[in-house]
């Protein structure tokens, strides 16, 4: 996710104002809210009315993930490297599985 310098500044101000511990707690809350929204959609058999809530919660989680990146001083290049590594592993696993449905996939 790409943020503007202005957006990054706001997120850093939130860390400075509320403290890193509270922002970690806020991440937990936002990710739980996304989980709730996804569970509602799943129980409702994915109706379009759930999309706005899911979209809002994804946005909240993106914001909090960036703050975690800042809190722990993790460079974007490090995250990109890990994402590439995990996607490569996923691609290999899917090729080895063939067309069978293996259920959940663990990154």
The CATH number given to whatever domain includes residue 43 is 1.10.287
Question: What pTM was computed for the model?
Answer: 0.86
**Domain range enclosing 55:** 5-94
Please check whether residue 99 lies inside any domain of the structure: no
Tell me which of 83 and 98 has the higher pLDDT: 83
pLDDT higher than 80, residue 103: no
Whole-number pLDDT of residue 102: 59
pLDDT higher than 70, residue 100: no
Please check whether residue 102 lies inside any domain of the structure: no
In this prediction, residues 77-93 reach a mean pLDDT of 96
Q: How far is CA 97 from CA 8, 11, 84, 86, in A?
A: 41, 41, 20, 16
Please check whether residue 71 lies inside any domain of the structure: yes
Contact 64, 31 (CB under 8 A): yes
When the pLDDT of each residue in the chain is averaged and rounded to a whole number, the result is 92
How many structural domains comprise the chain?
1
In this prediction, residues 43-54 reach a mean pLDDT of 86
Classified as helix, coil or strand, 19 is: coil
Please check whether residue 28 lies inside any domain of the structure: yes
Whole-number pLDDT of residue 3: 95
Say how far apart CA 9 and CA 38 lie, in whole Å. Answer: 30
Please check whether residue 19 lies inside any domain of the structure: yes
Please check whether residue 105 lies inside any domain of the structure: no
């Amino acid at each position: 996710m790409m943020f503007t310098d202005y957006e990054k500044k706001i997120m850093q101000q939130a860390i400075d104002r509320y403290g890193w511990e509270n922002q970690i707690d806020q991440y937990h809350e936002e990710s739980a809210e996304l989980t709730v929204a996804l569970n509602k959609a799943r129980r409702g058999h994915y109706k379009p009315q759930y999309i706005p809530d899911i979209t809002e919660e994804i946005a909240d989680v993106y914001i909090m993930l960036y703050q975690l990146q800042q809190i722990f001083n993790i460079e974007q290049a490090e995250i990109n490297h890990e994402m590439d590594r995990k996607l490569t592993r996923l691609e290999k696993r899917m090729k080895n599985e063939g067309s069978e449905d293996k259920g959940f996939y663990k990154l």
